[in-house]
Amino acid sequence: MWFHLLGLAHIVIPLALASIARPAPGTLQSRAGDKPGLPHDQRTTPHCSFWLDYNGSQTCAAICDVYGCSVDAFLRWNPSVGSGCTNLLAGKSYCVEAMEEPTVTSKVPSDPSNVGNPHPESPAVPIVETTTTTEPPNGIKTPSPLQPGVVGNCDKFAWVNGGDTCKSIAVKYNIPLREFLLWNSQEGEACSGLWAGTYACVSVIGYTPTPVVNAPVVGAPGNGIQTPTPTQPGMVSNCNRFRYVKPDENCIDIASNAGISFDDLARWNPSIGAACEGLWAKAYVCVGVLPAFRLKTRYHADCTGEVKNDIAVADGICINTACSVASLEIAAEGYCPEGQVQISYWEQAECSGKWFGYGYANKGQCRTAWSEGWKFKSLHFRCAKKEEDCVSQQTCQFEPEPANSLC
């Protein structure tokens, strides 16, 4: 009889000496062979040659200490565990050794915000167009070696180079990341199972990519901005800076080159999605917006004196007045329609305490503040229709004017 020595391939010893080869005493149990003894995740590597029947007593690092594998390899073989080893479940079997595994392109990502972001120097991925010159059941000529978990109805393949990621491949072939992960199920949601030196699926029978079409001009009437086409679907209407998306670019590249954050890019182009999976190549994205309006707050009631604030209002903003604002010098620029510059008065700083209601103004005017600044300590500005506010809709009630100054 023979015993498998701590997961090291091809080393066997007589059963009489097996006591020196077993893991340290504890509740963790293992079994040799190519089949797990407990339920396991279907994304586990198909190359597994030694399994652990897990009962919840060890961490990923402890398991690897016993079975002689690296934590990176363990997470790659068992993508369901998650990049932080947060989903290691008792009553499941996990792979602790894999034989004849293809070269792996990258480690499990440690930063969820970077999952799927292509390496900036990733080489081009050659496409392998299939033909029907062979006689497989589905009529598709399939190259090899294949990425584990490729669906059976794949009809187009891409070679995976070292440094490639799921996102970089998906972007290059203009397919949504979620589709790529569906067609190559071994990768997992974190793209931790992508292997270099294999072919991945980039299309399936019957799949039709979303075409790039000429979109209508989305600039709001009267904003004075000429909008190029085609544009990213769902782009905000007050965009005044645009950038053309090349087929090999991703959201991080675009935001960095434009000098904006990814959050800005996603807010102005909401259809790109939280993981940039909806970005269209060969279209324009928004990388800058017009303010709804601009204004300066002034010390005197006639828009003279010291400027306390000089702000551009986009989505709404609260400012503290410190009893130093008696008027508002509202600029003519901005896309906010006439009469929709909304001013909200608050008792305390940071738009807190009692609320004293709304006022409305036009662009291009000097507006004397309510009480000339003596009975409020902060203001909130936004572009809004008076008939749609909560007072007009009779769903809220503001506080009465205080008898005395707050300053």
Domain boundaries, the chain: 2-98, 112-204, 239-289, 293-388
The more confident residue out of 216 and 329 is 329
- Bigger pLDDT: 295 vs 182: 295
> What integer best gives the mean pLDDT of the chain?
76
> How high is the pLDDT of residue 145?
84
Model confidence at 107: pLDDT above 80: no
Over residues 371-385, the pLDDT tens digits come to 999 999 999 999 899
With a cut of 60, say whether residue 312 has pLDDT above it.
yes
pLDDT tens sequence across 110-161: 333 333 333 333 333 333 333 333 345 566 788 888 888 888 889 888 888 8
Reported as a single tens digit per residue, the pLDDT across 11-48 is 333 333 333 333 333 334 455 556 787 888 777 887 78
What is the mean pLDDT of the segment spanning 215-227?
Answer: 51
Which pLDDT belongs to residue 355? 94
Confirm or reject CATH 3.30.413.10 for domain 293-388, answering yes or no.
Answer: no
Q: Which residues of 297-309 are buried (b: 16+ CB within 10 A; e: fewer)?
A: bbbebebeeeebb
- The predicted pLDDT at position 138 comes to 60
CB 28 within 8 A of CB 52: yes
- Please name which of 33, 108, 38, 27 lies closest in space to residue 62, comparing C-alpha atoms: 27
Query: Among 39-48, 103-112, 200-209, 234-243, whose mean pLDDT is lowest?
Result: 103-112
pLDDT average, residue stretch 258-268: 85
* HEC sequence for the chain: CEEECCCCCCCEEEHHHHHHCCCCCCCCEEEECCCCCCCCCCCCCCCEEEEEEECCCCCHHHHHHHHCCCHHHHHHHCHHHCCCCCCCCCCEEEEEEECCCCCECCCCCCCHHHCCCCCCCCCCCCEEECCCCCCCCCCCCCCCCECCCECCCEEEEEECCCCCCHHHHHHHCCCCHHHHHHHEHHHCCCCCCCECCCEEEEEECCCCCCCCCCCCCCCCCCCCCCCCCCECCCCCCCEEEEEECCCCCCHHHHHHHHCCCHHHHHHHCHHHCCCCCCCCCCCEEEEEECCCEEEEEECCCCCCCCEEEEEEECCCEEEECCCCCCEEEECCCCCCCCCCEEEEEEEECCCEEEEEEEEEECCCEEEECHHHHCCCCEEEEEECCHHHCCCCCCCCCCCCCCCCCCC
Confidence (pLDDT) at 224: 60
**Which of the given ranges, 105-114, 187-196, 296-305, has the highest pLDDT on average?**
296-305
Taking domain 239-289, whether its CATH number is 3.10.350.10 is answered by: yes
pLDDT at 102: 64
Q: How confident is the model at residue 192 (pLDDT cuts 50, 70, 90)?
A: confident
- Residues 72 and 75: their CA atoms lie apart, in Å, by 5
Q: Which residues touch 213 (CB under 8 Å, ≥6 apart)? A: 230
pLDDT one-digit tens code per residue, 324-352: 999 999 998 887 888 999 999 999 999 99
pLDDT at 364: 92
pLDDT at 108 over 80: no
User: Does the structure show a pLDDT above 70 at 219?
Assistant: no
Output the pLDDT for position 34: 62
